[in-house]
Amino acid sequence: MNNQEIAHIFSLVAIYLQMKNESAFRIRAYERAALQIESMTTELSETYKKGGVEALMELPGIGEALAKKIEEMITTCRLKSYEKLKKEVPAHINVLVKSI
């Protein structure tokens, strides 16, 4: 996955978390990470190849939990927690969110 795809998924996770009325801190962490990733000139996959999760954690706004989620997306091209959130939201809402 490239940076834009990862950032987009993090943005969608933030939206789903808002719908579930989750912690504002958690929502904001995903939003900040998405913005940070979108503005990067180096691909996260390259950063990960050079130093793994630890290298990802050196990026501004990326803590251990988000770094592990980025690792999952880079290595599997999916994010299980995102897939789970999508299933928890009614289908007609998913259609609206996907259009974002």
CA 23/CA 20 separation, integer angstroms: 9
In the predicted model, is pLDDT for residue 89 greater than 90? no
Fold annotation for 3-98: DNA polymerase; domain 1 (1.10.150)
Residue pair 42/56 in contact by the 8 Å Cβ criterion: no
Residue pair 42/58 in contact by the 8 Å Cβ criterion: no
In the predicted model, is pLDDT for residue 97 greater than 80? no
Domain boundaries, the chain: 3-98
pLDDT tens, position by position, 29-71: 999 999 999 999 999 999 999 999 999 999 999 999 999 999 9
